[in-house]
Structure 1
Amino acid sequence: MSQAGPKLPSTPSQTVGPYLSIGLPWEDGPTVVEEGTEGAVWIRGVVTDGEGAPVPDALIETWQADPNGRFDHPDDPRGAVPGFRGFGRCPTNDDGEFGILTLLPGAVPEQAPHINVSVFARGLLNRLVTRIYFPDFADANAADPVLNSVPEERRHTLVARKTEDGYRFDVRLQGEGETVFFDV
């Protein structure tokens, strides 16, 4: 007959945060293109939790095609616009705000112009994945299979709003008005 050993505490769960500011950001992170690039726009927003409070220690990561619908990646042999890396990374500030300077993406085959977004934050075991669509491309948005897979009453959470110097895209992690996230 074996005897049970002492009851040990469970291992604490692991989350993505709160140490994002130590290892993930880098100097060029929020600038997908250099300031002063013709056609550059800011995408700004706030990450909020289920209560609507800002999340001051989140990180937004973006990946997108260039204005011609091409990627700066070996899997896209067409190549992107020179100097356009298509990737951005921005931590939120104390008010949960982030900003990415980029160019509007072009359409990729059978999809409307969009930016892929990953959200990292405290309390998340895995990143959350969403997309930013733009109101300027209403016809393409109407035909986009990914956007159309989202219930119509929730699609607005994926469409940025036009601002004076670009677009606003807020991320609500849960609760009323929660941003649509994709299971990838």
Structure 2
Amino acid sequence: MVQSLGYLKESASQTAGPYVHIGLTPNFAEIPGVYPVDLGTTMVNEKTRGERITITGHVIDGSGTPLRDALIEIWQADASGLYNSPSETRGSADPHFTGWGRCPCDLSTGEYLFETIKPGRVPFNDGRLMAPHISFWIVARGINLGLNTRLYFGDEEAANAEDPILARIEHKVRVPTLIAQRDGSTYHFDIHLQGEKETVFFDI
């Protein structure tokens, strides 16, 4: 007699709601004592190698309104193109760079801001070098699953032109939605959830 395997059904999806801030950035949510400082707040210190940059922008909904309750995480390589990860086998990443940051958007303006360094180039899975980039993960009320996208740098035209990921985007008119523009040491990168300027998101 064949016994039923009794597979469990998938739980109903939930939006992030207000709990994302309580769980991930308790100090920001005015809940002290969980962490001395919210995790991911600081990515660099005085010994970090590489060019210091600031990344700022907004998460914008389909009506053109910045979201004030979004939370963003970023992952990136160090200035030499190495990741601060146990799976990094190409060398030793900068021990003074976390490679990961977390930032809630300002509750009044919706602006996010990261103080980081410009990453080096890393190889694609076939060995070709990708352009310098930073991976973004976005959650907010009304988003059932976190959204994944990338930031590329507007002053890296040659590297961007040969990037294997950008080359796979079928509608080239959408490539600019992944390009951050530079002003001094600051790169501005708005993430559009819907509409004419909708950012390219990745299914990963």
The TM-score by the shorter chain falls in which range?
0.7 to 0.9
1:139 partner SS: helix
TM-score w.r.t. the length of structure 2 is: 0.79
User: Residue type matched to 2:68 in 1?
Assistant: P
Q: Deviations over 1:53-105 (max 9, x none)?
A: 11111011000000100000011131211211100100001221100111001
2:187 partner SS: strand
TM-score w.r.t. the length of structure 1 is: 0.88
Number of the residue aligned with 2:14: 14
Number of the residue aligned with 1:128: 147
Number of the residue aligned with 1:164: 184
Say whether 1:73 aligns with 2:85.
yes
Identify if the C-alpha distance between structure 1 residues 117 and 66 changes in structure 2 by more than 3 Å, giving closer, same or farther: same
Number of the residue aligned with 1:29: 40
1:136 partner SS: coil
Displacement of 1:168 after TM fit? 0.4
Q: Which has the higher contact order (CA 8 A, sep 6+)?
A: 1
Number of the residue aligned with 1:45: 57
CA contact (8 A) 1:17 1:120 kept: no
1:73 partner SS: coil
Say whether 1:64 aligns with 2:64.
no
Q: Which segments of 5 or more consecutive residues in structure 2 lack a partner in the other structure?
A: 1-10, 26-36
Q: Which segments of 5 or more consecutive residues in structure 1 lack a partner in the other structure?
A: 1-10
CA distance in 2, matches of 1:64, 1:115: 5
Displacement of 1:145 after TM fit? 1.1
Number of the residue aligned with 1:5: none
User: Residue type matched to 2:118 in 1?
Assistant: L
Q: How many residues align structurally?
A: 174
Number of the residue aligned with 1:8: none
CA distance in 2, matches of 1:55, 1:138: 30
Number of the residue aligned with 1:54: 66
Pairs within 5 Å for 1:78-117: 78-94=91-107, 95-109=109-123, 110=128, 111-117=130-136
Q: Deviations over 1:136-181 (max 9, x none)?
A: 2211111111111122100001000102332000011111201110
User: Residue type matched to 2:60 in 1?
Assistant: T
CA distance in 1, matches of 2:38, 2:13: 31
2:156 partner SS: helix
Number of the residue aligned with 1:4: none
1:157 partner SS: helix
CA distance in 2, matches of 1:177, 1:56: 19
Number of the residue aligned with 1:141: 160
- Quote the RMSD (CA, aligned, Å): 1.9
User: Residue type matched to 1:74 in 2?
Assistant: P
CA distance in 1, matches of 2:120, 2:74: 15
Identify if the C-alpha distance between structure 1 residues 35 and 160 changes in structure 2 by more than 3 Å, giving closer, same or farther: farther
